[in-house]
A = this chain, B = another copy of it.
Amino acid sequence: MNSFTEENYLKAIFKLLEKGEKAVSTTALSARMTTKAATVTDMIKRLAEKKLINYEKYQGVTLTEKGKAIAISIIRKHRLWEVFLVEKLHFKWDEVHEMAEQLEHVKSEELVNRIDAFLNFPKFDPHGDPIPDAKGVFNRKKSVLLAEINTGQNCIMTGVVDHSVNFLQYLDKVGLSIGKEIKLIEVVGFDKSIQVQLNGKEKVFLSHEVAKNLLVNKQ
Q: Does A43 contact B (CB under 8 A)?
A: no
CA of A98 to CA of B114, assembled, Å: 16
User: Judging by beta carbons under 8 Å apart, are A102 and B107 in contact?
Assistant: yes
Knowing A89-B118, A114-B91, say if A106 contacts B108 (CB, 8 Å).
Answer: no
Residues of chain A in range 63-105 having any CB-CB distance to chain B below 8 Å: 85, 88-91, 98-99, 102-103, 105
Closest to A108 in B: B99
The one of B90, B103, B105, B114 that contacts A114, using a Cβ cutoff of 8 Å: B90
Q: Is A31 an interface residue (CB 8 A)?
A: no
Least Cβ distance of A172 to chain B in Å? 18
Q: Which residues of chain A from 106 to 121 have a CB within 8 Å of any chain B CB?
A: 106-108, 111, 114-115, 118
Cross-chain contact A89 with B103 (CB below 8 angstroms): no
Q: Would you list 17 pairs from A and B whose C-beta atoms are within 8 A, ordered by A residue?
A: A85-B111, A89-B111, A89-B114, A89-B115, A89-B118, A90-B114, A91-B114, A98-B108, A99-B106, A99-B108, A99-B111, A102-B105, A102-B106, A102-B107, A102-B108, A103-B103, A103-B106
